[in-house]
Structure 1
Amino acid sequence: MALFKENPFGHILFLKKWLIRIMGLITHQRYNGFNSLEIEGSDILRNIPDRNVLFVSNHQTYFADVVAMFHVFNASLSGRDDSIKNVGYLWKPKLNVYYVAAAETMKKNFLTKVFAYAGAISVERTWRADGKEVNRQVKMSDISNIGRALNDGWVITFPQGTTTPWKPLRKGTAHIIKKYKPVVVPVVIDGFRRSFDKKGLRIKKKGILQSMVIKEPLNIDYENESNESIIEKLEYAIEQHPSFLKVISEEELLAYEQENELRRYRNRKKV
């Protein structure tokens, strides 16, 4: 029966649809009320395939980043340009959207399990577990699950594997790109670290201007480009390459914050 149709991971799509609707309604004001989300490039989402697309982004909180992307993706696909106003887009959400997350995070409590049902691909981190440094092999089943998700739809990944900025990207991302040859779309976010706690569940400060820039898909030579070259290309695309630190002075950082303040003031006047 259509009512009990499942995705490749055994999740009932009818339940997933209602989870996205309910969670979307609960969280909408976090990006369009308590704080404001400035979006750029959302029209790109309407010009990419329905399957085998990998979104690569920097990471600032455990959950708020992903939830914001679910809002932006669905709003854009319903015809909105760089806006998430009017939550009617939640009525017909895109159900084949997944995101890569640490298995230990997604198993912690009932709420994280609900988030997981909405689209998590849980993987075991190879470098950290239970707050301790570890060194273990990548589970091939984790790679295969990401492949299954790409074969079904869109996958969001945060290749730094941490919310700490400027950390190197995990080489496994390049391996996935070369293996499954997805369309790779960079996403750059900002403001989430200032407006939410680390988990992205509690609003830490109101009136923060958040931003999400969706860039054109990267040009990648899947056959001949090295893993190192792909990683470097991704670092530049999501603005996490170490060279960015060398060219950003304290004065420029201050000016950037002042510009954010001005944009926030302009947004308030529009409302």
Structure 2
Amino acid sequence: MFKKNPFGHILFIKKWLIRFFGVVSHGRYRRFNKLQIEGSEIIRSLPETNVLFVSNHQTYFADVAAMFHVFNAALNGRDNTIKNIGYIWKPKLNIYFVAAKETMKAGLLPKIFAYAGSVSIDRTWRSKGQDINRQVKMSDISNISKALDDGWVITFPQGTTTPFKPIRRGTAHIIKQYKPIVVPIVIDGFRRSFDKKGLNIKKRDVLQSMVIKKPMEIDYENETLDEIVKRIQIEIEQDPASLKVISPEEYKRLEDELNAKRKFWS
């Protein structure tokens, strides 16, 4: 009952936290909105440890919660669905997510979420709403390594919910140094359905999507950091170059069409 993970968290408590918040949040992806999933079979093919998921980011917490649902549903035999929440009764307890330390300390609820699986780090480029420039803490890198050794890690390499921002090179450093299996994920619809924190439903009847792609084939020894950064940017569909081939007016028109398609009626 009192077995702990490498971060000192009691697994029995962590399991009940995931169960509770899994039940509470399930309707946000099944009832109020609809989560469309692709690639569940890839989740079942992954090893138990040293897997790094890289994804674009749209809210602080709703993105991660959805991934916890999708991963556990897939591991319990669901194919591209989170229908029937029984899968949450036996959750995978070695799933972690990288998050800014100041975010995870901002209130009781984030602190509880942190216990459920956060690897909290100090951002090197922003703090308290201000742009900064500070050195990476080796303890932060060590904690990510510890999480990879124990299981799966979800990271949002842009470090922000703003779309088409640059990929942080720290992610490439981690990939080069620890050689994890890197699985790209592309999400959409979360920004339209939730507030920025991902705690409150902003709009209902939005079609959310999560596409789990095949693991990247990376030459850990010979690919440069910049090459890895560029490939991640393309894989998670956040390459700014893709915006330059159309006019702002055309982009707005396509965005409006996509928003219309993402509405659904029960």
Q: Greater CA deviation, 242-251 or 12-21? A: 242-251
Residue 64 of structure 1, aligned match among 62, 67, 75: 62
Q: Which residue of 2 aligns with 1:149?
A: 147
2:198 aligned with 1:185, yes or no? no
2:120 is aligned, of 116, 122, 136, to 122
Aligned mate of 2:239, from 232, 238, 241:
241
Deviation digits for residues 126-182 of structure 1 (CA, Å, limit 9, x no counterpart): 011111111100000000100000000000000000000000000000000001000
C-alpha distance in structure 1 between counterparts of 2:200 and 2:246, whole Å? 30
Q: Which residue number corresponds to residue 44 of structure 1?
A: 42
Summarize the alignment of residues 199-214 of structure 1 with structure 2, pairs less than 5 Å apart. Answer: 199-214=197-212
Question: CA–CA distance in 2 between the matches of 1:255 and 1:161?
Answer: 26
TM-score by length of 1: 0.95
C-alpha distance in 1, partners of 2:7/2:255? Answer: 43
Measure, in 2, the Cα distance between the counterparts of 1:257 and 1:214. Answer: 25
Aligned identity (percent) is 67
1:27-78 Cα offsets, whole Å, 9 max, x none, are 0010101000010111100011110000000000000000000000000000
Task: Please name the residue that 2:4 is paired with.
Answer: 6
Is there any run of 5+ residues in structure 2 with no aligned partner, and where? none
**Corresponding residue for 1:231?**
229
Distance 2:112 2:251 in 1: 41
Change (3 A) 1:260 1:76: farther
- The aligned residue for residue 258 of structure 1 is 257
Measured in 1, the distance between the counterparts of 2:127 and 2:254 equals 38
CA distance in 2, matches of 1:5, 1:92: 16
List aligned pairs for 1:78-97, cutoff 5 A.
Answer: 78-97=76-95
- Partners of 1:13 and 1:193 in 2: how far apart? 32
The unaligned stretches of length 5 or more in structure 1 are none
Are the counterparts in 1 of residues 55 and 186 from structure 2 also a CA contact under 8 Å?
Answer: yes
Task: Find the aligned partners of 1:206 and 1:105 in 2 and give their Cα distance.
Answer: 26
Q: Deviations over 1:195-226 (max 9, x none)?
A: 10000001100111100000000000011110
Q: 1:222 to 1:259 in 2, by over 3 A?
A: same
Could you tell me the TM-score, scaled by structure 2's length?
0.96
Q: 1:212 to 1:51 in 2, by over 3 A?
A: same
Distance 2:145 2:126 in 1: 23
Q: How many residues align?
A: 265
- Separation in structure 1 between the aligned mates of residue 199 and residue 80 of structure 2, nearest angstrom: 24
Deviations 1:64-123 (A, max 9, x none): 000000000000000001001110000100000000000001011110100000000000
In structure 2, what is the equivalent of residue 16 of structure 1? 14
Question: What is the CA distance between 1:251 and its match in structure 2?
Answer: 3.7
Match of 2:132 in 1: 134
Distance 2:133 2:259 in 1: 40
CA RMSD of aligned residues (A): 1.3
User: In structure 2, what is the Cα distance between the partners aligned to 1:252 and 1:167?
Assistant: 17
SS of match in other structure, 1:155: strand
In the alignment, the residues of structure 1 paired with residue 119 and residue 9 of structure 2 have an alpha-carbon distance, to the nearest angstrom, of: 12
Q: Give the match's secondary structure for 2:153.
A: strand
Q: Shift in Å at residue 248 of structure 1?
A: 4.7
Contact 2:206 2:262 in 1 (8 A): no
**In 2, Cα distance between the equivalents of 1:259 and 1:160?**
23
Which has the higher mean CA deviation after the structures are superposed, 89-98 or 239-248? 239-248
Which AA in structure 1 matches 2:185? V
Task: Measure, in 2, the Cα distance between the counterparts of 1:50 and 1:82.
Answer: 20
